[in-house]
Homo-oligomer: A and B are copies of this chain.
Amino acid sequence: MTSRPADIPSTEPISKSRLRLWLKLLKTSGSIEEELRRRMRAELGTTLPRFDVMSALARAPEGLKMSEISRRLRVSNGNITGIVDKLTEEGIALRVAVPGDRRANLVRLTPKGQKIFAEHAGRHEAWIDEILAGLNADDVAGMMLRLEHLSDTLEGD
């Protein structure tokens, strides 16, 4: 594994290589995300953050506390408040009181929300399959191994 584009000197310091890797990672990830965001809006009339919240709720039929949603999605608390407010107004989610703790709420998908999410999730998976169609099973496995290694080196991830 010593091949490299002709314009990158082998004597490049490792810090430059790491920087180059990060910029590539950011660009690649951003391209895919941009395409997903575009389709979410155009074809489903929703946004990635909403989809992410619904996705988290769909995996927890018993409901999730607000703080648990923000922890899982790695976004701030206040952020989730606004998104759940909207989903609630639309009858997609609802807040259920937690017996014995009047501070907290459990957020759940309504039946309507479950139905909508199932549709959206199917479309989402099909889009990813389409966008990543150029990667075969070996490509996917190889990339996944690299990412797991990288992710392991990011402490506390």
Binding site for B on A (CB under 8 A): 1-4, 14-22, 24-34, 74, 124-126, 128-129, 131-154, 157
Contacts and interface: CB of A to CB of B under 8 A. Distances in A.
A147 B31 contact: no
Given A15-B126, A30-B74, A143 B146 contact: yes
A122 to B, nearest CB: 10
Contacts of A128: 15, 18-19, 22
17 contacts: A1-B145, A3-B145, A14-B137, A17-B141, A18-B128, A19-B124, A21-B144, A22-B32, A25-B32, A25-B147, A31-B154, A132-B150, A132-B153, A133-B153, A134-B150, A135-B149, A139-B146
Contact of A28 (B4, B135, B150): B150
Q: How many copies of this chain are found per oligomer?
A: 2
Contacts of A151: 24, 27-28, 31
Contact of A129 (B19, B29, B30, B129): B19
